[in-house]
A and B are shown apart, each in its own frame.
Chain A
Amino acid sequence: MTDESPESPGSLMARGTPQSLALGVTIGEGDGGGSMRAPFRADLVGDPALGGLADGVVYTLLDQACGAAVGVAVKARAEMQGRELAMGAMATLDFRIDYVRPARAGADVTARAECLKIDGEVAFIRGAAFETDPDDPIAIVQAAFMISSALVGR
C-alpha cells in the first residue's frame, strides 16, 4: 500500500466528509473503499412508526460510497497508466435511487458501490444499500459523476 496524496479523492472520501462524520459513517471492509456503513442511531430515523434509518441517510451513504468507488477507480487507473494521481475534484451529475423497501428498525445500513466505467471526464457508478444481505437491498442506485480534467490525465 503506497501513501496516498492527501488531496486524492479516494483519501478525501476515506477520511470522511463533515456530513458523513456527523452520520457516523465508517468504511466497510475488503471492498477497496467503495463500501460504507451507517450505524443505527435513533436521531436519524425517518418515520418513527417504522423505526429504520431515514431515506436521506441511505441516500447520503450511497452517494458517499459512489464517490469512494470513483476515487478507487481513478487511483487504479492512474497506477495502471504509471502516472501520479493528480489533485482534482469530482461532482455528482445525476443520481437515481430506487427505494425498494424501508430500512429495518434498529438496523445498521451498509452501502456498496462499484464504478462501472470511466469515459473521459464521466464516471458511471451503480450501488446498493442493505442491512446484511446484498441480495435483499433497501435501495439501489445508478449515478454519473463528473471528474475534473486533472484526474482524467490527458
Chain B
Amino acid sequence: MRETELSPASARFAASPYARFLGLRIELADETVTGVLPFAPHLIGNVVLPALHGGVVGAFLELTALAQLAHVAPDGVAPRTVDVTVDYLRPARAVDSFARAEVLRLGRRVANVRAVAWQGDERRPVATLRGHFLLRRD
C-alpha cells in the first residue's frame, strides 16, 4: 500500500470546526479517501434504537465526498456543494461509521460524486449519497 498525503484542499475539510465537532477523520490510502466517524453519544438522533442522526450521516457522506473530490481536483480548486441526495438504507447504529466516495465525472466547473457509508460490513451500506459540486478556483 502506497502512503500518500491528503491534498491541502482535502485536508481543509477534515480540519474545519464542524468536522472536529463531529469527530470526523479523513484517511488516505492508494489515492482513495476514507471518511471515519468514530461513535460519540452526541451524534445520536434516535435514542430508542439508538441510531445516529440522519443529518449526521448526511453530513458525514457530504464531507467524505468533498474530501475525495478535493483530493483529485487540480491544485487551487476548492469544491462547494450544489446539491446532494441521500438515500437511507438502514439505521446507522451507535458504532463507528466509514464512508468512501467516487468521483464519477470531474468537469471543468462541476463534478458528480457518489458516496457510500457503512458500519460493520462494507457490503451492507447504511446510506448512499449522490451530488453535484461546483469547482471554484481560489
Contacts and interface: CB of A to CB of B under 8 A. Distances in A.
Interface of A: 17-22, 42-48, 53-57, 59-64, 67, 89, 91-99, 102
Contact of B47 (A17, A46, A57, A59): A17
A140 B53 CA distance: 19
A14 B49 CA distance: 18
B42 A18 contact: yes
Contact of A94 (B16, B21, B46, B85): B85
Given A19-B55, A97-B83, A54 B16 contact: yes
B62 A95 contact: no
Contact of B87 (A18, A56, A57, A94): A94
B44 A18 contact: yes
A59 B88 contact: no
A54 B17 CA distance: 9
Contact of B58 (A22, A42, A53, A63): A63
Contacts of A60: 53-56, 58-59
A43 B20 contact: yes
Nearest to A62: B55
A92 B43 CA distance: 16
A59 B83 CA distance: 11
Given A55-B59, A64-B45, A99-B81, 14 more contacts: A17-B46, A17-B47, A20-B45, A20-B53, A44-B17, A45-B18, A53-B18, A56-B56, A59-B58, A63-B58, A95-B58, A95-B86, A96-B85, A97-B58
